[in-house]
Structure 1
Amino acid sequence: MELNLVKYCKTEHLVDAIEKGRIFIGTFDRYRQIENEALRDTEEGCATPAILNEQGDMLISENDNDTLLAYSSIKITNEWKINLPKGMPLLLDQPSFNTFIYCVSNDHQPSIEKAKRLGYDTFFKITDPVQFGRALMSSLSQQYNSQFGMKCYFGLVNYVPRKIQVVNRQSKNRPIQSFSVKDFFTKHERFREDREFRYVIFEYSNSGHTEYNSFKVYGKLIENIEISKYLSRTTK
């Protein structure tokens, strides 16, 4: 698929990015709580888990509309069963994980009107998506002096009716992480109009590169002239 990646932003941030390579990279925590209603997604990050037993029976589940996915009796982990009326909400906390995310739009017809819908007034273009991602990762790694390095994933967002992640808590083959990378590229279909392309940057927490750190920040302002090499103005 041909990409035309643009970042909607405010004019002063466009100047900082183009001339200095200075940009702000948010985290999932930020986008779960951001005041901008057009950008806030309380489900951002990991999908809501559905818990299975060893036989593959679903124990509990939930979707964004607070209605049950299954209307029959629900088995809980101690083998007790509970019966809930049809449609009664059953809420679960999402896995607690916070990492860096940089969101842009794959928009072949960017406009100031679209920028204003998001609370901005302009936009710039990413001319080399791969090198830009490497520059982001390198800049964050230097700032945090990452002992075991970082990893950057990037790609288009997949929009779905609901976000469910299956977790088998008793399986010996269960992955160390309670998430898969694709969870970070999945959003509810109500955001489909954004045509989002995103960069997700993890910091490894061990030498085997099997676990990641969870940051306690809402974002980081980074400045690296290398970043500016892969950006260009698209508006006057």
Structure 2
Amino acid sequence: MKTIYIPKGETIRYESLATEHLVVHGCLQVTCGITAKTITGYGTVHAGTVNADVIRVDDMDAGSIVCKRLLAKRVQSPEVFASESAAVSCFLSSAYVETGKLTVTLSEIDTVNAAEIINLTPKKRTLFGTLLASAFRSIWTVLTVPSQKELKATADVDDNVREAVVEPVQEEKQESVAAQAAPCATEDTAEPEPVDEELNRIVGIFKLAREQGYTLKLIPGTPEENAPVFDFEHERILRNAA
């Protein structure tokens, strides 16, 4: 059938439905899915899946909606795919919405993938009034929000200023590091002090004598000829008479 009409006040049930034009002024319940070019009317549609080019009804309750343009008062669906636009004047409840332009007042959506989103204030509007308000809001947004080129130009200016500030700071840090490293370089390049071999020899003799149980004693003004002599054969010290 090319056109199916659901009169106001009647409830019609189908297992599945495929037609070119569907006009719903009453209540339509489809267990599986609906396939049509256009779905219009002031009634309510309940279906498992809905595939159409244009949907314009008051109430739509479906497991999945796939269309080009969606215009309704109330929509409840886990998935909504509208390639061009989706406008819901009263309430939209969905887990995932993907569309080119989304216009809503009250909504409960988990994830939205849209090029443009317009949120209208809750107000009594017809479906045509919702589309008109959405168009005015889009024009106002274009006129008031800076364009991408202006934002990019501003970002470029900020980057240039940031580079001009960062470069002197980096130069100062490099100079400070060089100044701190200079003393260290000077200390490393300084010539080592000469080693006093005589002092090391005396210290070594003192340590060796102390380990053997002897004590070194310095006698001032002792002539070399009066110095005590050590008898190695009998291991004793021979002292000269004073």
TM-score (norm 2): 0.19
TM-score (norm 1): 0.20
Answer 1 or 2: which has greater helix percent.
2
Of structures 1 and 2, the one scoring higher in RCO (CA 8 A, sep 6+) is 1
Answer 1 or 2: which has greater strand percent.
2
Which structure has the larger Rg over C-alpha atoms? Answer: 2
